[in-house]
Amino acid sequence: RKEVEQDPGPFNVPEGATVAFNCTYSNSASQSFFWYRQDCRKEPKLLMSVYSSGNEDGRFTAQLNRASQYISLLIRDSKLSDSATYLCVVNHDYKLSFGAGTTVTVRA
Amino acid sequence: GAGVSQSPSNKVTEKGKDVELRCDPISGHTALYWYRQRLGQGLEFLIYFQGNSAPDKSGLPSDRFSAERTGESVSTLTIQRTQQEDSAVYLCASSLTSGANTDTQYFGPGTRLTVL
């Protein structure tokens, strides 16, 4: 079983729509959680950390459910520039485990 | 300030040849990581350096892979006798410290390795 599993998508949504997706992780001892964004043929970049109480960063909302071991990301009012692959990332000690990514395409 | 840099950006080699990939971390970052990303897949952890501690090599897929780091500076990843399955993007990341739950890893642009 992979440490981090994500629905690969693609999620194809119109501008202005809301899109949400999640991932699950297998290691219950995981300590911290992140969403990274990766554009085509580019390196991953941190989008946001995910906290147990849930957190928002502009149009992005992340939720963590430790009991069920899943993490979600919601994007409101989608922009064309949100088109990317979103990587669910879980930290245990110093090691990050990456999901394979969820591809989001926002169309005009 | 300068981010993580990697060289070369692209490398095409023949099966059986050795390759060396270089990573320059952000100045002052004590932790350095190497990952591999095959086409359409997630990142696989390869190796981790933290200061002068012994590296964690648990992610290296075979003994053909090795990496070195001098102090808290440049790291090189060497792949000997390359195979076609080694074709991937090799990403390097650095972070200010390690073990702290929220230390952000900053990635370099990667080296795209193609083994013919």
- Nearest CA to A9 among A72, A107, A100? A100
Q: What is the pLDDT of residues A40-79, one digit of tens each?
A: 989 999 999 998 888 999 999 999 999 999 999 999 999 9
pLDDT (tens digit per residue) in B17-37 = 999 999 999 998 989 999 999
Distance, in Å, from the CA atom of B95 to the CA atom of B23, rounded to the nearest integer, reads: 13
β strands within B1-116, DSSP E? 5-7, 10-13, 19-24, 31-37, 43-50, 65-69, 75-79, 88-95, 106-107, 111-115
Q: What are phi and psi of A66, to 5 degrees?
A: -70, -35
Q: What is the pLDDT of residues B50-78, one digit of tens each?
A: 888 889 999 999 999 999 998 778 999 99
Q: Which residue of A has its CA nearest to B90?
A: A43
CB B112 within 8 A of CB B89: yes
Are B21 and B109 in contact by the 8 Å Cβ rule? The answer is no
Structure tokens at B65: 């892979």
Mutation site, B43, B57, B112, interface A, largest A CB count within 10 A: B43
- Chain A and chain B share a number of CB contacts under 8 A equal to 44
Q: Are the C-beta atoms of A8 and A86 separated by less than 8 Å?
A: no
In whole angstroms, give the CA distance from residue A13 to residue A8. Answer: 15
**Shortest Cα distance, chain B CAs vs residue A58, angstroms:** 20
Q: Which of B40, B56, B105 sits opposite A96 (nearest CB)?
A: B105
- Name residues whose C-beta falls within 8 Å of residue A73's C-beta, 6 or more positions apart in sequence: A20, A21, A22, A35, A47, A60, A61, A62, A86, A88
Residue A33 burial class via C-beta count within 10 angstroms: exposed 0-12, middle 13-18, buried 19 and up: buried
Question: In Å, how far is B64's CA from the nearest CA of chain A?
Answer: 22
pLDDT band at B100 (very low <50, low <70, confident <90, very high): low
DSSP conformation letters of A32-46: EEEEEEE-TTS--EE
Q: Please check the confidence at residue B103 and state whether its pLDDT lies above 80.
A: no
Residue B86 is given by DSSP the state G
How far A39 CA lies from chain B's nearest CA (Å)?
Answer: 11
What does the pLDDT average to over A28-35?
A: 91
